[in-house]
Amino acid sequence: MSGPIRVTVWNEFRHEQEEDRYREVYPEGIHGAIATGLSAHADITVTTATLDQPEHGLSVETLENTDVLTWWGHKAHDDVSDAVVERVQARVLDGMGLIVLHSGHHSKIFRRLMGTTCNLKWRVADETERLWVVAPDHPIAAGLDQYVELDREEMYGEFFDIPEPDTLVFVSWFPGGEVFRSGCCFARGRGKIFYFRPGHESYPTYHSPTIQSVIANAVRWATSSGGPAPVFGNANPLESLPAPVK
């Protein structure tokens, strides 16, 4: 594509406004930390949007000018308008990339695109997370070593009720013995979707340069290639056909 990749960073932005312990970790909101990381890349331009803005900050115009949308939500999934969810889904099917982060697995948009409950097991216990790179040649894993280690994170464990990913990039291990499919790639229509597990609101995960790099890699991967749009409906033949028999 010509020009920079246009990213809209969407965040529910409730935890950081309601409790000091979360605001201390993300004084500019989780969206602010993600936007800061992405803005460091010359090929990416960033805008932000939050739940309590009109239309959740995701107007028709905003989405038409978005190449990739990142999504973080947790406690207010049900507050997201169904009309906006339908709008986002339509844009994904038309080629907009979608990066779903952490507890966004239970968002309306992710569940709709997956067609499953997206349920899982979880535990908040200040545990180390080791994300093993299981697709080292994938563009999202560019620049990484064998694994990424986070000192403190929330545990997510299998079974994760999602369709089989087209590509699995990361598998997480936790000291409690659990593993989790933490980096999952999907295609829906013309759009690419990446689910990336780390990012509990209590921990400074999105300040990590390595995590910021993964998200930037995912944005580049999820950007539409700009191929021809599919044509649907009744079609005239390209070649001459014999007259139908009566």
Residue 102 lies in a domain: yes
Report, as an integer, the average pLDDT of 89-102.
98
Domain that holds residue 50: 5-115+183-222
Q: How many domains does the chain have?
A: 1
Find the angle CA(128)-CA(109)-CA(25) to the nearest 5 degrees.
Answer: 35
Whether 145 is in a domain gets the answer no
Query: What is the pLDDT, as a whole number, of residue 9?
Result: 98
CA distances from 173 to 179, 217, 224 (A): 5, 22, 32
pLDDT at residue number 38 = 98
Residue 22 phi/psi, 5-degree rounding, is: -85, -35
The two beta strands, 5-11 and 44-50, are parallel
pLDDT, averaged across the chain: 96
* pLDDT, greater one: 238 or 169: 169
Is 198 among the domain residues? yes
Q: Residue 227 has what pLDDT?
A: 82
Q: Is 214 domain-assigned?
A: yes
Instruction: Tell me, yes or no, whether 107 lies in a domain.
Output: yes
Q: Inform me whether the pLDDT recorded for 2 exceeds 80.
A: no
Model pLDDT for residues 4-38, shown as the tens digit of each residue:
999 999 999 999 999 999 999 999 999 999 999 99
What's residue 242's pLDDT?
Answer: 87
pLDDT at residue number 29: 98
In a domain, 170, yes or no: no
Instruction: State percent of the chain over pLDDT 90.
Output: 91
Domain-embedded: residue 63: yes
Cα 18 from Cα 23, distance rounded (Å): 8
Quick check: is 89 in a domain? yes
pLDDT at 1: 65
pLDDT of residue 244: 81
pLDDT in tens, 56-70: 999 999 999 999 999
Task: Assign residue 56 the CATH number of its domain.
Answer: 3.40.50.880
Tens of pLDDT, residue by residue over 75-94, are: 999 999 999 999 999 999 99
